[in-house]
């Protein structure tokens, strides 16, 4: 049997993904291409399960008993379809109409693909730290606002002349200044209800700052995602950072409250906002055709009937996450089968997208995921 070129590429990447400690097969062969990526945008959705990403709405949770759903018929009209493929596209159209066609999606366990948290704690601060540093630090074992002693890949990139002064991070959760160690890292970290003061006179940012100050605080340290997103995208349009981070949090908050309808709505809205961000940068010459987008989550969750609300070391399945990647140097293979990646590979993957070797700075970090055509 003669395999097509795309089949050969797919076979090679799957072999590499199954053994992430090996070097990518694309380093020294005929597929080597000139580096196109000059900028990286990393987006994260807190606690969104792989089950919804790859199969859409879960019928066992679309009820009052397990999902506290208020209007079951309305929820089914929005998100229920006859097949997993149709359901996931209804829930997350940007993922399945754009990323799956032009990039890659990892983590569908039903077809043998996995992305796994290795810190074994399966909650937020350890998950973000593992994602951003590339390794597990046993001392990172709570969600307390303790400045991270470990330097993230963002902090390292900011020390390089090519990126210095062009790195920024935004997050809904007010612990991100500790995760990035804002006092040390050398770049802006705006999170929680802190006003953004770096764009004086920007009417959108001023409106968001006013909302942060005056609105009721449902979750204490975390505003609604729309406020975080509008603040972040205004900064991106104005400052055009080369390395940019944004995390949204409502998926995790509504799940903890057990409200499956609002959890699904949060996933759907986040997908739309991420699609808006991608569309925005494709209209900007600084980003168009030069940007790699990486989307991930910090932890998974349990299953039905009620464990889906929770995560942690004792929740089965909370170690299972997912990864999406899109960009000019990413092999366009869509939904990946039989791959095995870890959360700890994401940091080096961010660096490799920019043709930087993170292990030279941090030898403890896991190898980058073999997702690029070089």
Q: Quick one: tokens of 68?
A: 């506290």
The pLDDT of residue 30 is 34
The pLDDT of residue 3 is 44
**pLDDT less than 70: residues of the chain:** 1-33, 374
The pLDDT of residue 34 is 79
Quickly count: other Cβ atoms within 10 Å of residue 84's Cβ: 15
pLDDT one-digit tens code per residue, 125-173: 999 999 999 999 999 999 999 999 999 999 999 999 999 999 999 999 9
Distance CA 90, CA 94 (A): 10
The pLDDT of residue 133 is 98
Half-sphere exposure of 101 (CA within 13 A, CB side): 6
Q: Are strands 291-296 and 323-326 parallel, antiparallel or unpaired?
A: antiparallel
Distance CA 87, CA 80 (A): 6
Q: Return the sign of the alpha-carbon dihedral for residues 270, 168, 299, 177.
A: negative
The pLDDT of residue 35 is 87
The pLDDT of residue 17 is 45
The pLDDT of residue 371 is 94
- For the chain, the residue count is 374
Structural domains in the chain plus CATH codes: 5-360 (3.40.720.10)
Distance CA 219, CA 289 (A): 38
The pLDDT of residue 175 is 98
């Amino acid at each position: 049997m003669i395999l097509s070129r795309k089949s050969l590429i797919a076979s090679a990447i799957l072999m590499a993904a199954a053994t992430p400690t090996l070097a990518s097969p694309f380093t020294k062969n005929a597929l080597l291409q000139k580096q196109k990526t000059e900028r990286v945008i990393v987006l994260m959705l807190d606690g969104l399960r792989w089950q919804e990403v790859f199969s859409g709405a879960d019928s066992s949770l679309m009820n009052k008993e397990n999902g506290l759903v208020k209007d079951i018929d309305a929820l089914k009209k929005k998100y229920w379809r006859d097949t997993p493929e149709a359901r996931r596209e209804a829930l997350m159209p940007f993922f399945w109409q754009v990323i799956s066609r032009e990039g890659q999606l990892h983590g569908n366990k039903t077809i043998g693909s996995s992305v796994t948290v290795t810190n074994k704690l399966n909650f937020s601060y350890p998950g973000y730290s593992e994602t951003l540093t590339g390794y597990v630090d046993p001392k990172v074992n709570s969600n307390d606002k303790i400045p991270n002693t470990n330097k993230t890949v963002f902090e390292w990139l900011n020390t390089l002349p090519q990126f210095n002064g062009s790195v920024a991070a935004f997050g809904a959760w007010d612990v991100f200044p500790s995760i990035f160690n804002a006092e040390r890292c050398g770049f802006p970290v705006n999170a929680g209800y802190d006003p953004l003061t770096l764009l004086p006179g920007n009417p959108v940012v001023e409106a968001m700052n006013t909302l942060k100050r005056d609105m009721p605080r449902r979750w204490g340290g975390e505003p609604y995602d729309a406020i975080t997103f509008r603040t972040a995208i205004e900064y991106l349009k104005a400052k055009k950072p080369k390395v940019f981070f944004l995390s949204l949090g409502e998926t995790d908050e509504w799940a903890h409250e057990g409200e499956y309808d609002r959890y699904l709505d949060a996933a759907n809205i986040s997908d739309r906002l991420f699609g808006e961000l991608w569309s925005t940068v494709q209209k900007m010459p600084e980003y168009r055709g030069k940007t790699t987008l990486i989307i991930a989550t910090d932890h998974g969750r349990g299953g039905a009937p009620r464990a889906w609300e929770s995560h942690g070391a004792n929740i089965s399945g909370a170690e299972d996450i997912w990864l999406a990647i899109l960009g000019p140097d990413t092999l366009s293979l869509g939904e990946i089968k039989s791959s095995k990646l870890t959360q700890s590979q994401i940091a080096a993957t961010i660096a490799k997208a920019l043709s930087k070797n993170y292990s030279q700075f941090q030898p403890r970090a896991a190898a980058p995921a073999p997702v690029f055509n070089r």
